[in-house]
Amino acid sequence: MRRCTLVEHNSWPNAPTTTPIIGLKELPASDAPLPHTHIQFAHCFKRQAGWSNVLARFHRGAAPSMISSS
pLDDT in tens, 32-60: 888 888 887 776 767 777 788 888 888 88
- Which of 7-11, 13-17, 22-26, 27-31 has the least mean pLDDT? 22-26
Average model confidence (pLDDT) across the chain: 79
Is the whole-model pTM more than 0.85?
Answer: no
Distance CA 43, CA 46 (A): 7
Active site residue 43: yes
Catalytic residue among 25, 36, 38, 46: 25
Question: Does residue 69 have a pLDDT over 80?
Answer: no
Active site residue 46: no
The whole-number average pLDDT for the span 2-24 is 86
Catalytic residue among 9, 43, 46, 59: 43
